[in-house]
Amino acid sequence: MCVGLTTVDVSQRVAEFPVPGQKVQSLGVHLAPGGPAANAARAVAALGHRAVLLTALGGELGDFARARLHPVDVRSVGRSGPALSMVAVRERDGERTVISRNAAGFDVDVTVDPALVEAADVVLVDGHLGPLALQAARHARRAGVPVVLDAGSWKPVLDDLLPLVDVAACSAAFELSEAEVHARGVPLVIRTHGPRPVTWSRGGVTGSQPVPVVRTRDTNGAGDVWHGALAVAVAEGLAVDDAVRSANEVAAVRVRHTAWDWVEELGRWRDSG
């Protein structure tokens, strides 16, 4: 179960990022659902698992996103969202730049059905819809369902959310150190470092796993896909090194492909292995 932000991404491929005041013609444009929770849920589904997405999808953009998220089981709360994100992806190396409002100003119904959480094998939260993430994590803790946190950046809800988290998957830019995250009550802390090895620590034991070297075409959402794959690995009870290795392999498939085709290619990769 993935809980958090869905966006609609307007992705434009460009030869180079524009400088301030410059106009450039894109090499291609694509409109698709995005955002941390939605991308993770799409990855879970592409890997052959049932994916439930608890998010905010209202209005015509919400209808558009919901239709294209199939076969994800989308559960929407409130009438806000999705956010609209503008994404530029550089053709030569897949680097991306994103402008988004995220969940700022969203009005959501924070009533989470406990039965929905209890039926899950794992709950992945991104913290963007803070009250929603907190309630889902509390239900998960009571039900004994592991909680994985996508810790891309600090959010106010994390003061209350971190003590409920079993696995914190932090970006290189996340503001707290591993020791500080452990001190908040998180047993397993994992940190990604872009193309460099992913590191982890638990109970005084540390480890790392290398990231596959591939030709990168599009990095947008790669971390979200990584988190979805990690959640699958946690649900399957894999050892930490195996879980991280699996997530790294899935993210490598994502970056080899574009916004146009990554979901289908991930499904083909799953079927080939």
Report how far residue 41's alpha carbon sits from residue 70's, in angstroms, rounded to the nearest whole number: 10
**Cβ(65)–Cβ(57) under 8 Å?**
yes
Reading the block at residue 185, the tokens are 């009550």
- Statement: residue 103 has pLDDT above 90: no
Over residues 44-91, the pLDDT tens digits come to 999 999 999 999 998 899 999 999 999 999 999 878 889 999 999 999
Between 33 and 105, the more confident residue is: 33
How many other CB atoms are found less than 10 A from the CB of residue 22?
8
Beta bridge partners of 208: 199
Mean pLDDT, rounded, for 6-15: 97
**Domain of residue 30, residue span:** 2-272
pLDDT at res. 108: 78
Query: pLDDT > 90: what percent of the chain?
Result: 93
Reading the block at residue 78, the tokens are 């409130």
Reading the block at residue 21, the tokens are 């005041």
Average pLDDT, the chain: 96
Mean pLDDT, rounded, for 35-46: 98
Over residues 162-198, the pLDDT tens digits come to 999 999 999 999 999 999 999 999 999 999 999 999 9
**Which residue shows structure tokens 């932000």?**
5
**Cβ(244)–Cβ(206) under 8 Å?**
no
Domain at 49, CATH number: 3.40.1190.20
pLDDT at res. 111: 86
Provide the domain count of the chain: 1
Report how far residue 86's alpha carbon sits from residue 262's, in angstroms, rounded to the nearest whole number: 18
**Cβ(32)–Cβ(8) under 8 Å?**
yes
Query: At 211, is the pLDDT very low, low, confident or very high (cuts 50, 70, 90)?
Result: very high
**Cβ(92)–Cβ(217) under 8 Å?**
no
- Buried-state track 213-248, b at ≥16 Cβ within 10 A, e below 16: eeebbbbbbbbbbbbbbbbbbbbeebebeebbbbbb
Provide the whole-model pTM: 0.96
pLDDT at res. 104: 83
**Which residue shows structure tokens 């680097």?**
95
**Cβ(40)–Cβ(2) under 8 Å?**
yes
- Statement: residue 106 has pLDDT above 90: no
